[in-house]
Amino acid sequence: MEIVIQNLVKRYDQKLIFNISNLHFKKGKIIGLLGDNGSGKSTLLKMISGMDKEYEGKILYDGYSLKHHMTHRIGMVSQKPYLFKRSVYENIEYPLKIRKVEKGKRKEVVDGFLRDMNLESIQDQRADTLSGGEAQKVALARALSAKPKLLLLDETTANIHEEAICTIEHQLKSYHEQMACTIIFVTHNLLQAERFCDERVWLS
């Protein structure tokens, strides 16, 4: 999915957060979104995801405004991930269940994520008892299991151990290749943005 932003103005109450005249997130690219604390990165992702509709200006998705059916193809992992108060397994399985994927196939997909992200030992644990990094991994697995064409990741690797970051980057790269999806990746880590992203965009 290609995202074009035109004259986008965001305010909270009277306070101007940003005013972006033109910004283009190219289809099929991994784009790093960087900027100071409070520059509006999380706000912009919420706007692109359709969660925040309070703004002036335009966000175009493959040339169109956001339609309800498109939101099913957008995956987002928030800075503070929201998970259901169910098991890790059920959280990752949920998007497959609502898409009526058959039970055996669901198990195959969920088991794959549990294995790849090293979550097997906590698969039966309730998601509201997880550590920050564990919750981010589960939220990422859940987002990927829905097979999004646009993936919005807000500091998804910020609380994750160095080695696990490599595993996640590797997994994201292979998902990106397989789906030819667009990924907007918020990070404060410049080395990671250099290594992992095809392009970088700064919010100021």
Ligand X SMILES: Nc1ncnc2c1ncn2[C@@H]1O[C@H](COP(=O)(O)OP(=O)(O)OP(=O)(O)O)[C@@H](O)[C@H]1O
One of 1, 17, 70, 101 touching ligand X (CB under 6 A): 17
Residue 40 in the binding site for ligand X (CB under 6 A)? yes
Token digits of residue 17: 């957060």
182-186 vs 15-25, strand pairing mode: unpaired
Residue 12 partner contact from ligand X, Mg ion, none using kind-dependent CB cut-offs of 5 to 8 Å = ligand X
Residue 123 partner contact from Mg ion, ligand X, none using kind-dependent CB cut-offs of 5 to 8 Å = none
Residue 136 in the binding site for Mg ion (CB under 5 A)? no
Neighbour tally for 163: CB within 10 Å: 9
One of 19, 38, 56, 103 touching ligand X (CB under 6 A): 38
Dihedrals phi, psi of 151, to nearest 5 degrees: -120, 125
Range in contact with ligand X (rule: CB under 6 A) among 24-32, 39-47, 68-76, 91-99: 39-47
56-61 vs 30-34, strand pairing mode: unpaired
C-alpha–C-alpha distance, residues 81 and 158, integer Å: 12
Residue 182 in the binding site for Mg ion (CB under 5 A)? no
Range in contact with ligand X (rule: CB under 6 A) among 35-43, 54-62, 99-107, 118-126: 35-43
Residue 91 in the binding site for Mg ion (CB under 5 A)? no
Name the residue type at position 59. I
Range in contact with ligand X (rule: CB under 6 A) among 32-40, 67-75, 114-122, 160-168: 32-40
Q: Distance of alpha carbon 63 from its chain centroid, rounded? A: 21
Dihedrals phi, psi of 150, to nearest 5 degrees: -130, 125
Residues 49-88 that bind ligand X (CB under 6 A): 79
Token digits of residue 164: 């696990």
Asked if residues 29 and 19 have their Cβ atoms less than 8 Å apart, the reply is: no
Residue 42 in the binding site for ligand X (CB under 6 A)? yes
Interface with ligand X (CB under 6 A): 12, 17, 35, 37-43, 79
